[in-house]
Structure formats: structure tokens, C-alpha cells
Amino acid sequence: MPSTPPSATTALVTGASSGLGEMFARRLAARGYNLILVARRGERLLELAKELPVQVQTICADLVTEDGLGKVESAIRDCPSLDLLVNNAGFGTLGYFWEADIAGQRDMHALHVMATVRLTHAALGPMVRRNRGGVINVSSVAAFSINPGNVSYCSTKAWMNNFTEGLDIELRHAKSAVRVQALCPGFTYTEFHDTLGVDRKGIPDWLWLKADDVVESSLRGLGSGKVIVVPGLVYKLVAALVRPLPYGIRKHLKRPFKDKRA
């Protein structure tokens, strides 16, 4: 995809009210994309929209619900200029799976997996017919291993990586110019870990990434056709070392922070 989009080109970003979603909105607006911003916190979307120098449509929707997901699917189908979809909405939990609230586990799978499936399906058909466009699925470096107390998060992000690679194989087979990407950041300065209940002081400073650097790595990678993007040298090394390890070794790997619930 070109770094500068054609006129009247639109990007849709989920989970856009804060963190990486908000940064994607700001960076894409700076590149000239009109925006459709989706999140549960509608008031924050409206505040963000006022700051951006492009046309912005906001959709207050919870993507774990049929109503919310259907609303965003319709917005995708009704937007002939949609050139980029960023599936960023997501959340994490901590604690052993069998002790966790099943509703939270169900919602995580619904958001990371089914929402990604349905929104990507709605977007890809028109993109392939136009032979241009892209989809970014915001995954995580956690996709490369599974840690105790984080099973559903790691598993759904691993699925996201596999799904994205599979789509890329199909698109290349179809000789399509449409690009897909799984973005796999590590610890990033956003509200994500605060909401999760992780104490930032327990994580070394050198492991933290800036949200704008993560987004720039993503957009640069999409332009060059890179399917799996891991921002930051440290996390590139982690991914390169962990991915080929057999399960017998990977099961002994631990997170760089402690959680009393896990």
C-alpha cells in the first residue's frame, strides 16, 4: 500500500478511544485517511474526532454483542472508499483459566476471534474486487508463547497470527494486491496494562514501547508487505528465539512480572 492514500480513502479502526487504536487514528489522519472510529466509549471518540483534520464518523459499539458487531459490519459494507481495516479492539485477563469468570473468557474469544473474522470478511471482498486495500490485525508478542494465567489471551492472539498468515497465502494465490498484517507488540505505554492490573514498576523500562513507534512500525510494514510485524529489537529477538522452541522448553518460560492471581 502507498504511504499516501488516494483522495476520499477511508480507514476503519476498532478500539479507537485510547491506546494503539487512538494512535492509529492520529497517524492515519496525518496521512490523509478519512476515518470510521469504533469503540464502546462514544464520548471519547467524539473528543478525538474534534482533534483530527479529516472527516470522521464515530460508532459507539460493543463488538462482543451481535448488535454492535452488525452495526460495524454494515458500516464497512456501506463505505465504498474503505481502504484499510484495523482490528485493534481487545483486552486481557489474569488468573488461571478454571478460576476466571467464564463470561470474560467468552467475550475475549468473541472479540479477538469472531469480531476479527466477521469484520475482515466484510472488508476483504470489496478490497479484493478493487485490488487494493489492507487489514491490520493487532495481535501481540504473547502469540508466540503461552504463560500461566494468560491462556485465552495468548491462544487468541496465536490464532490471529495464523489467521492472518492464512489470509496472506490466499491473497497471494489469488494474485491480489491487498495486504494483511498481524501486528505483535510487546509491553506498550497505553491503558491496556493498567486496566489489566499489571504494575508497570515490576517491568523493566527497556521492555516498554511507545505507542507511536508501534503504529509507525505497523504502517511501514504494511507498505512493504510484511505479514508479521514485531516492533522493537528486543521483541524481534524474543519472537525469533521463542517461535521455533519445542513445547517442552516453552512451557517453562515465564512472564517478566508477577501476578498474585496466577
Task: Residue 38: name the closest of 64, 15, 8 by CA.
Answer: 15
Given 33, 96, 153, 247, the catalytic residue: 153
CA 29 vs. chain centroid, Å, equals: 18
Q: Name the residue type at position 174.
A: A
For 224-261, letters b (16+ CB in 10 Å) and e give eebbbbbbbebbeebbeeeeeeeeeeeeeeebebebee
Question: Taking the CB of residue 22, how many other CB atoms lie within 10 A of it?
Answer: 24
Give me the residues paired with residue 14 across strands.
38
For residues 180 and 164, what is the distance between their CA atoms, to the nearest angstrom? Answer: 6
Tell me, yes or no, if 153 is annotated catalytic: yes
Q: Name the residue type at position 117.
A: V
Q: Are 89 and 136 in contact (CB under 8 A)?
A: no
For residues 41 and 64, what is the distance between their CA atoms, to the nearest angstrom? Answer: 14
Element (H, E) at 156: helix 151-173
Sort 4 into a burial class: Cβ within 10 Å, 0-12 / 13-18 / 19+. exposed
In the structure grid, which three cell numbers stand for residue 198, read together?
499489571
Active-site residue set: 153
